[in-house]
Amino acid sequence: MNVIKLDKVPGQDSMLIFHALARIGYEGLVIVSPKEPLASIGYFQDAQKEIDLEFCEKAGISIMRREVGGGATYLDGNQIFYQMIWHKNNPAFPRNIKQIFEMLSQPACETYRTFGINASFRAENDIITNKGKKIAGEGGGDIGDSMVFVGGILLDFDYHTMSKVLKVPDEKFRDKIYKSMEENLTTMKRELGEIPPREDIKRVLIECFEKITHRLEPVDLDEKTIQKIQELEKLFTSDAFLFKKTPRIPEGVKIKEGIDILYGLYKAKGGLIRTAEEVENKKVLKDIVVSGDFNLFPKQSLKNVENALKNKEFDRETIKQEISKVYGKDKIESPGIEPEDIAKTVIEAQ
């Protein structure tokens, strides 16, 4: 396998690179940081629900949806991303998603420990210190015939800007978000009092990954990859892709007599689940959109879950059975998210 070690690249390119490499069959590691800040949302999230679009536009912060799960976050040069890409049939990697997350979290944990921070993996997709503070979040997904796993080493973090990037109901709630992040999210600078040399961190991180992958051969970005990045930029910056999970169901609009518009929200172990639903006579689920900051594989199967629920009886057991059928048929894996969790979100929507 190979490794592409980069310094800071244009903001969106730092995310587009693993999307491009997955599509052209690259296998190996990428180490990279963004030169300009950006906001990134998970593949299953609703941009309008998660991101303060007006603030980002005024602040000149670009927004992009990534093709892996997880939550909305603010990315800048104070983070060193690690992105592992491999063919889904590569026998060196587990087929079970939970095992993949645990295995590929170890290099980051060991890197932190090397520099004096006692870190460990916490299911479903976090790395925490021995004091229970989060110091990295991770995500993964399937892209074509490839699998990708991404995360970041937090050198420092702009809590203030992150609190502004996130969509919140009011400023009082924004203050709570800010204080919560300060209390529960830490960085190398906060833990050590200083940031170790950037190149030393990259070197150690690569060495720790090599304990899993064996020798990683250094390679450069080739012209084919650069062209693919440029091609994907048009798609990933389009409104059609950015707002693909924004519900078609209008909020606060009376469609017709007997039709209720309901919105579900439930925090499961594996992440937040949101639903927007159209229910007829309180008996039939006519339409539904499911979004959230969870991880789900294969990613296209969430659409199959939505389609399976349309025009079904608005009943918890019926909804759960339909979701379970799709889970079985598509062999869905969603760490920390079970059919029961989605059914609960649907039925308890208000």
Q: Which pLDDT value is given to residue 254?
A: 57
**Has residue 57 got a pLDDT over 90?**
yes
Q: Which pLDDT value is given to residue 309?
A: 98
pLDDT confidence of 326, banded at 50, 70, 90? Answer: very high
Q: Which strands make up the sheet holding 38-41, listed edge to edge? A: 62-65, 38-41, 73-75
Q: Which pLDDT value is given to residue 101?
A: 95
What's phi and psi for 155, nearest 5 deg? -75, -50
Task: Read off the pLDDT of residues 265-278 as tens digits, 9 standing for 90 and up.
Answer: 999 999 999 999 99
Contact 104, 149 (CB under 8 A): yes
Sole residue written with tokens 């029961």: 340
What's phi and psi for 116, nearest 5 deg? 100, 15
Task: Read off the pLDDT of residues 145-165 as tens digits, 9 standing for 90 and up.
Answer: 999 999 999 999 999 999 999
Task: Read off the pLDDT of residues 107-124 as tens digits, 9 standing for 90 and up.
Answer: 999 999 999 999 999 988
Q: Which pLDDT value is given to residue 79?
A: 97
**In the chain, % of residues over pLDDT 90:** 90
DSSP 59-109: HT-EEEE-SS-S--EEE-TTEEEEEEEEETT-TTS-SSHHHHHHHHHHHHH
Helices marked H in 132-197? 159-165, 171-184, 188-192
pLDDT confidence of 246, banded at 50, 70, 90? Answer: confident
Mean pLDDT to the nearest integer, 298-315 = 97
Task: Read off the pLDDT of residues 14-32 as tens digits, 9 standing for 90 and up.
Answer: 999 999 999 999 999 999 9
Q: Which pLDDT value is given to residue 250?
A: 65
Nearest C-alpha neighbor of 73 from the set 49, 42, 101, 35: 42
Cα gap 118→128, rounded to integer Å: 8
pTM of the model: 0.92
pLDDT confidence of 301, banded at 50, 70, 90? Answer: very high
> Which domains are delineated in the chain?
2-242 (3.30.930.10), 259-347 (3.30.390.50)
Residue 119 CB-density burial (10 A; 0-12 exposed, 13-18 middle, 19+ buried): buried
Task: Read off the pLDDT of residues 190-236 as tens digits, 9 standing for 90 and up.
Answer: 999 999 999 999 999 999 999 999 999 999 999 999 999 999 998 98
Q: Which pLDDT value is given to residue 338?
A: 97
